[in-house]
Copies of this chain bind each other. A is one copy, B any other.
């Protein structure tokens, strides 16, 4: 697996049960996955030779992020490496513009968008035209490289939009503008696909974002009709098939105020919106990703409980009064049923350093499960508990 972050760490955990050890290409021995796996290759995902060293002798090459240059992956494929998902699919997870163009071609619902690449003057004119056509209810995004809110500008009106465009460095990844969809909430449809096309979908979940990053996941999405849930799953399965995805894929969706679904983002790797599966589903997204890329039949995706809530643990602000370890002691004493997953990362304000899953008890309401999960995560994040579920605000 290319990348030594928490996704690789948790994939290694799943690999152990399958009788395997996950080899990880990590930047440093202190990376979350490098701390715990016996098979580490130190190097950079930007260096073809490092990628080659990581791939040597491995059954398949896969990823915990979207950062590997496509040209390197194509070179590896030409050398016979089983790159999974393949570069032709991964391209659409790396490049938001290509993704939107392809989805629109396939008739899948995407927000209206405008390409802001190429000649600056022409692109600026397209931004103005697109902005006016949408009454400046738009978002500007970098075509590649963004995550957890980076590379996304929620602009308020023409002046802000044009300022973002004008100040944007010319050597950075291209921009696109997108219509701001009047939405009710965000959903995620997580699926897996094997090399020969077997597909499996987990229940569709609701994701709650804070400060541009996923904070809480409700599984399954409350009050979602079976019809809409199945539509989301089928869209994700169909797209994975059309693109030739191998592994797990998260399709992030907006549910609009009038009940329509619009595709927001794609991730072709284990995803924050799938962490609940570690304790709340028969097969976790990490085991499933390994099954898919190693070409084993896929595991059962049924939930093990009617309700599970995942909440991210964020790094505390500078110099917390209570150490992480003390906080963990108190949480375990207070909630012996909370499933805590820590990533071995140093604390830094608002950095994702772990998550908590709370699996609902028989007959418990989503409100109650969510309160327990959020309370646990906020405690671990050293945040003050508020009714408004606000972390470090």
Interfacial residues, chain A to chain B (CB-CB below 8 A)? 9-10, 12-13, 15-21, 34-38, 40, 282-283, 291, 296-300, 302, 304-305, 324, 328-329, 332-333, 336-337, 339-344, 354, 359
Name the distance in Å between A9's Cβ and chain B's nearest Cβ: 6
Given contacts A38-B35, A304-B359, contact A337 B296 (CB under 8 A): no
A392 to B158, CA, bound (A): 76
Which one of B20, B344, B354, B359 contacts A282 once the chains associate, using CB atoms below 8 Å?
Answer: B359
**From residue A194, how far is it (CB to closest CB) to chain B in Å?**
10
Contact status of A36 and B12, CB under 8 A, knowing A291-B332, A329-B297, A336-B299 = yes
| Complex-state Cα separation, A305 to B303, whole angstroms | 12
Pairwise interchain contact A300-B36, C-beta atoms closer than 8 A: no
Give the shortest distance, in Å, between A278 (CB) and chain B (any CB).
8
Q: Does the CB pair B13–A342 fall under 8 Å?
A: no
Extra inter-chain contacts (6) besides given A16-B36, A35-B38, CB under 8 Å: A13-B16, A18-B328, A20-B344, A36-B37, A297-B333, A299-B337
Q: Is the CB of A283 within 8 A of B336?
A: yes
**Is the beta-carbon distance between B13 and A17 smaller than 8 angstroms?**
yes
Q: Are A16 and B21 in contact (CB under 8 A)?
A: no
For the complex of A and B, 6 pairs with smallest distance between CB atoms: A19-B342, A297-B332, A297-B333, A300-B337, A300-B336, A13-B16
Determine whether the beta carbon of B36 is less than 8 Å from that of A296. no
Min C-beta distance of A240 to chain B, whole Å: 18
Tell whether A282 pairs with B337 under 8 Å between CB atoms, given A16-B9, A37-B36. yes
List chain B residues, Cβ under 8 A from A302. 337
- What distance in Å separates the Cβ of A173 from its nearest Cβ neighbour in chain B? 34
Q: Which residues of B contact A333 (CB under 8 A)?
A: 297
The answer, among B299, B343, B359, for a CB contact under 8 Å with A19, is B343
